[in-house]
Copies of this chain bind each other. A is one copy, B any other.
């Protein structure tokens, strides 16, 4: 399961995407609208900003905004940033690979093979679906 952090990030990004025309959006507005602890959300938005996904403006009229059009922000990127690996096992992770310590040889391990397929089918969706694809219909 995705952590609350990642779930909140998605909902916040959705709100930002649905209000791109309104300039910078307040943290407090997102928190209220999406029912998220404001202080926790603060940290999340900051992390998204430091990763280049969001921009911000201080002072009156300030807030957060998307740095790119929603269509260009892949869901996989958000998950990896806040939650880490998408794969079910370290030994099949593309971005956070770790050797398996319980099997003799990954090349002949059937678990490795199947979990690799799960990873592929998941990534096929998450790499190709963007923020634009998860907006309210």
Q: Which residues of A contact B (CB under 8 A)?
A: 1-2, 7-8, 10-11, 14, 34-36, 75, 84-85, 87-90, 101-105, 108-111, 113-114, 117-118, 121-122, 124-126, 129, 133-137
A-B contact pairs, 26 of them (CB 8 A): A1-B89, A1-B90, A2-B88, A7-B89, A11-B103, A11-B111, A14-B110, A34-B103, A35-B101, A103-B136, A104-B136, A108-B136, A108-B137, A109-B134, A109-B136, A110-B133, A110-B134, A110-B136, A110-B137, A111-B134, A114-B129, A118-B125, A118-B126, A121-B124, A121-B125, A122-B122
| Whole-angstrom distance between the Cβ of A56 and the nearest chain B Cβ | 21
Residues of B contacting A114 in the complex (Cβ-Cβ under 8 angstroms):
75, 125, 129, 133-134
Residue of B nearest to A117 (CB): B125
Residue of B nearest to A79 (CB): B88
